[in-house]
């Protein structure tokens, strides 16, 4: 499968996006505002190419390379292997193929090669600061965990939901991660739930009747879903915020039980 629109354009877009991420971080731009500006930058190379489906996927891929680095490739390959949701979404293989054609380093090699490819995320506390120098202060209160890396945590679930539409598998992954792989928090779990919902909805809009109009509003969706300030935003962004607020406040009987069970496990684990 040929890389859209071409390798030179894609690699240049990632380099520019990487530089933008580091510049915004060094300027002290808060997390949600920084993330929104990254999405705005990611749109620019593909806006006039008259293929909104491909453009949407390119934007998501470039953001994944810059924000998630090797973990974008690692978790997609993992999903391709386990398939808990039985039916594999065709976009998984499409993204894996595109990542291969982008000539990304292997995910096991977290070295200078990933910096050259465009990794602006955070491997651990000793290697590089997260993108958010304001420690999640402009995230909505339910997501504010006081860390410098909440962009990474939110985006990894949004990305996986968009590509795989594997809600069950991602949900299990989130709970496992909070319980066994780090010091979990209810804020991080809430971030995962919101991000999964957002990724699924962005994919539905990408597959809908007017993907170009939806893609144009992606930057405002970031502000609406994850941020505290959302006045004056576009209709789609505001509608998504209302949907998510409804999901948080009125999850339904079985979803409410499941969420309470998950949060109780996380609280017990953290003492």
pLDDT over 90 (residue 209): yes
Mean pLDDT of 202-222: 96
Look up residue 127 and give its DSSP letter.
Answer: T
130-134, 204-208, 238-242, 243-247: which has the highest mean pLDDT? 204-208
Query: 């990724």: which residue's tokens?
Result: 199
Q: Mutual orientation of helices 7-26 and 31-43 as an angle, nearest 10°?
A: 160
Q: Could you tell me the residue ranges of all domains in the chain? A: 7-269
**Six-digit token string for 34:** 């920084």
Cβ atoms within 10 Å of 53's Cβ, excluding its own: 13
Query: 């929104």: which residue's tokens?
Result: 36
pLDDT over 70 (residue 36): yes
pLDDT over 80 (residue 121): no
Mean pLDDT of 149-174: 88
pLDDT of 9: 92
- Render pLDDT for 37-63 as a digit per residue (tens, 0 to 9): 999 999 999 988 889 999 999 999 999
Q: Cα torsion for 53, 151, 27, 46, to the nearest 10°? A: -10
Positive/negative CA dihedral, 39, 41, 43, 46: negative
Would you say the pTM of this structure is higher than 0.85? yes
pLDDT over 60 (residue 1): no
């Amino acid at each position: 499968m040929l890389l859209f629109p071409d390798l030179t354009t894609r690699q240049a877009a990632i380099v520019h996006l990487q530089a933008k991420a580091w510049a915004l971080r060094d300027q002290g731009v808060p997390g949600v505002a920084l993330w929104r500006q990254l999405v705005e930058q990611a749109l620019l190379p593909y806006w006039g190419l008259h293929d909104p489906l491909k453009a949407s996927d390119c934007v998501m891929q470039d953001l994944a390379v810059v924000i998630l680095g090797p973990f974008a490739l690692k978790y997609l390959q993992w999903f391709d292997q386990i398939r808990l949701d039985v039916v594999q979404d065709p976009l998984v293989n499409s993204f894996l193929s595109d990542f291969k054609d982008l000539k990304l380093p292997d995910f096991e090699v977290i070295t200078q090669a990933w910096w050259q490819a465009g990794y602006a995320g955070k491997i651990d506390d000793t290697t590089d600061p997260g993108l958010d120098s304001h420690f999640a202060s402009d995230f909505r209160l339910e997501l504010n965990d006081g860390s410098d890396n909440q962009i990474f945590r939110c985006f990894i679930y949004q990305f996986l939901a968009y590509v795989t539409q594997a809600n069950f598998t991602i949900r299990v992954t989130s709970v496992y991660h909070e319980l066994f792989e780090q010091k979990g928090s209810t804020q991080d779990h809430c971030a995962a739930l919101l991000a999964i919902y957002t990724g699924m909805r962005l994919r539905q809009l990408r597959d809908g009747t007017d993907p170009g109009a939806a893609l144009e509003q992606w930057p405002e969706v970031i502000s609406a879903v994850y941020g505290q300030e959302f006045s004056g935003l576009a209709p789609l962004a505001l509608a998504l915020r209302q949907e998510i607020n409804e999901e948080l406040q009125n999850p339904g009987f079985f979803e409410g039980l499941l969420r309470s069970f998950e949060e109780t496990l996380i609280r017990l684990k953290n003492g």
